[in-house]
């Protein structure tokens, strides 16, 4: 038997993502990249089985790939095989044999309360530090995505809440605490007024007076994590995970957290219950006098 026409299948899949599912260019590119990576491992095969996907994911884990990246890659491959089965390119949808919630649930990295305090205290009193303090406080106070933060305007923040435009340009209102508001007010009054022009509406600016970019925020979060002595590999999204996990720890309703995060489905928010359970287990093992590890 001849090898499978993988390149043709992938090309059709990309067209499907763009035309029928109307996904964003960024998502299409990520799915295409993930599927291409998987297909490179099965190029000479005449049939593909679920075990091939498991082996591929396992290889990524051994190489040290981030769990979030592996989770996204697995979703991309599952969507790919669902498409192939629907179009009758293959006889079975092997994605149904990959039980994502049970076998591949990845728990997002979160910061402890102490680590959050260290991170928020890391910026200095320079203009850049004042801006970055406001950014860090806002990320943790609202759980917004870094792209949402970069798109905020001065008119999206008031004394009690912020207006966020999330995925699909969906608007949501998120409460904001006094600490974050104080940091934002300090930044607006002492720094932004000097950096921004009258026609520049973006809330957070670079020193050049242009809207801050996602990459700049990512770099600053990494910088302050190192400065605070945090050894975990974190990103702006870690602040979002920490926001949700800490709310859940304090008894917030899962549906309320879903609303504040802008999740379309409760299943996306539900993983934080697994995370909290994991933290409870760790605390029990560390503190209980009768616990014995085996």
Rounded-to-integer distance, Cα 110 and Cα 233, Å: 10
226 is catalytic: no
Which listed residue (133, 192, 220, 240) is catalytic? 240
- Candidate list 167, 194, 232, 285, residue with the active-site label: 167
d(CA 65, CA 222): 18
Structure tokens at 45: 């095969």
Question: Which entry of 31, 140, 187, 272 is annotated as an active-site residue?
Answer: 272
| Phi, then psi, of 249 in degrees rounded to 5 | -60, -35
Annotate 63-85 with b (16+ C-beta within 10 A) or e (fewer): eeeeeeebbbbbbbbbbbbebbb
237 is catalytic: yes
Q: How far is CA 54 from CA 80, 101, 289, in A?
A: 15, 15, 39
263 catalytic, yes or no? yes
Contact 240, 145 (CB under 8 A): yes
Active site residue 241: no
Active site residues: 145, 167, 237, 240, 263, 272
């Amino acid at each position: 038997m001849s090898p499978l026409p993988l390149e043709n299948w992938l090309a059709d899949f990309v067209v499907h993502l763009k035309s029928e599912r109307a996904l964003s260019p960024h998502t299409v590119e990520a799915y295409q990249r993930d599927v291409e990576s998987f297909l490179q491992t099965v190029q000479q095969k005449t049939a593909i089985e679920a075990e091939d996907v498991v082996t591929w994911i396992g290889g990524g884990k051994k190489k040290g790939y981030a769990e979030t990246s592996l989770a996204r890659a697995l979703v991309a491959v599952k969507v790919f095989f669902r498409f192939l089965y629907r179009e009758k390119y293959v006889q079975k949808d092997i994605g149904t044999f990959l039980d994502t919630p049970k076998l591949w649930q990845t728990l997002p990295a979160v910061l402890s309360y102490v680590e959050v305090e260290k991170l928020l205290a890391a910026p200095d009193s320079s203009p850049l530090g004042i801006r970055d303090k406001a950014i860090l406080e806002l990320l943790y106070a609202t759980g917004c995505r870094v792209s949402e933060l970069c798109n905020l305007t001065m008119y999206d923040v008031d004394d009690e809440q912020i207006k966020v435009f999330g995925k699909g340009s969906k608007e949501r209102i998120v409460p904001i605490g006094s600490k974050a508001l104080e940091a934002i007010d300090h930044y607006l009054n002492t720094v932004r007024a000097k950096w921004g022009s009258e026609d520049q509406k973006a809330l957070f600016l670079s020193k050049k007076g242009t809207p801050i970019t996602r990459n700049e925020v990512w770099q600053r979060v990494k910088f302050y994590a190192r400065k605070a002595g945090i050894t975990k590999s974190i990103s702006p999204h870690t602040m979002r995970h920490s926001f949700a996990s800490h709310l859940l720890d304090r008894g917030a309703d899962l549906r309320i957290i879903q609303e504040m995060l802008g999740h379309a489905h409760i299943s996306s928010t539900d993983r934080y219950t697994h995370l909290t359970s994991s933290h409870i287990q760790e605390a029990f093992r560390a503190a209980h006098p009768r616990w014995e590890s085996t």
